[in-house]
Chain A
Amino acid sequence: MLVNQFLMLGAVLFCIGVYGVIARRNAVLVLMSIELILNSVNINLLAFALRNGSADGHTFALYVIAVAAAEVGVGLAMVLLVYRNRKSIALDDLAEMKG
């Protein structure tokens, strides 16, 4: 059924996102991976909304997009500050919080 393909796409995107978060050392790329994860969730929400014929899923997706935009704004600002201080955005160097 059509829903299956939607869900498959969401799962693939989610896995790519998780991989990016775990494996990438570039902070911008990690942020992009987080966007991928959020959007995979959006796809799932829309798929179920269409299947159930309800507007709830759409509304939720819109909220997620708005929150994601804010998140990216904050995240990029942090990246920019880190870059100004260190001339690098490699996450491996940001280990001062090590316990």
Chain B
Amino acid sequence: MTPSPPPGAPSTAAPPRSRRLDALRGGPEVPQRPLDARALSALAANPGCRRRALLDGAGVDKAAVAQALGAPAPFGQSQFAFVRGNAFEARVKADGGEALLALLCESTGEERPEPSAVLVPDLTADGPAGRAARTGLALAEVPAGQWALLDHPLLTLEVAGATAYLEPDALAVHPDGGVTVIEIKSFPVLDGTVDPTKAGGAARQAAVYALALTGSVPVREQALLVCPKDFGNQPAGGLLDLRKPLAACRRQLARLTDLDAIADLLPEGAHFGTEQDRAALTAAVESVPAAYAPECLATCELAFHCRERAREAGAVEALGRSVRGELGGLRTVHEVLAAARADADDPAARDPAAEALRRAAALRAEALATAAPAPAQAGTPAPPAGGGTEGGLACR
């Protein structure tokens, strides 16, 4: 629900970082796009993608790059959803977070504190680094035995050598010193259940925040998810178990190759500035390998560019990750179709994956030939394949 800044919004103060990453954006004057929890959880979902790791790590505005490449991302948020999300969050946080803590205590079974006994520190400061420092200070300053609620704190997380600033909706400090991440979302909890994919997304996002807190404070393994109840605007809360998403997130982010190693793949002087001509930008983007999968379309601004490239190359992943499973070493549509058509005596065809493909092609061709009349649509005839029909009964 945290309103992500509009694309290309400059962060007020650039944090210290290697000049190399500044150069990758096209120069120090190009504003850095901060990494947020949404981007991190998307990155954690596809840790093999070096292109995304480098562009996100360097703070490149991927939407602008996609636009310059001629494959703009169709992302955007409807202002209705935006207004509704903000209105709900404001409503939940009105009265100094009393309702939030009530929901939290109801979920954990703790005793509800008096509203006056809850510390709500002021977290305003200049720039992300200042706000993050302020948050760290506020967390450290909460006396033992005291409840505290941090509204829109700012956390930092080192990802592949770059600092990401993360802004959870809220954090609650329990009297025992434990910290609970609070996520406020505008999708409803209907008759006690939420859409599992949306709840999963919220859990992954909360896990990124928990990861950022790990080490500095004892962060609890369950986050509080606050959603509107049924068709109304009353908040309802529930605990999200973070252990699995946290473990997954930690593992995936640790796997992200060091940015410097990825940046070494770029030719000397290449960068992702959108001022350069399209061919140079394309060459720069293409010099860093991507790991495209159709899931990227929902989470990455560059996905449509990567999809075009994957399709041009005939990569089987473009048809879905699950397609890869049985294909062994065959990587392209062309290779697969050739293997399916290959002569059984060909030595290359003795590979088990190729053999299975030949059988699949033969069985499919036989079925299509026996099922007369052929379906009216998709009018092209079946490509020739090994085997054939024996003109007998359809195997049905």
Q: Do A and B come from one complex?
A: no
Chain B residues near A (Cβ < 8 Å): none
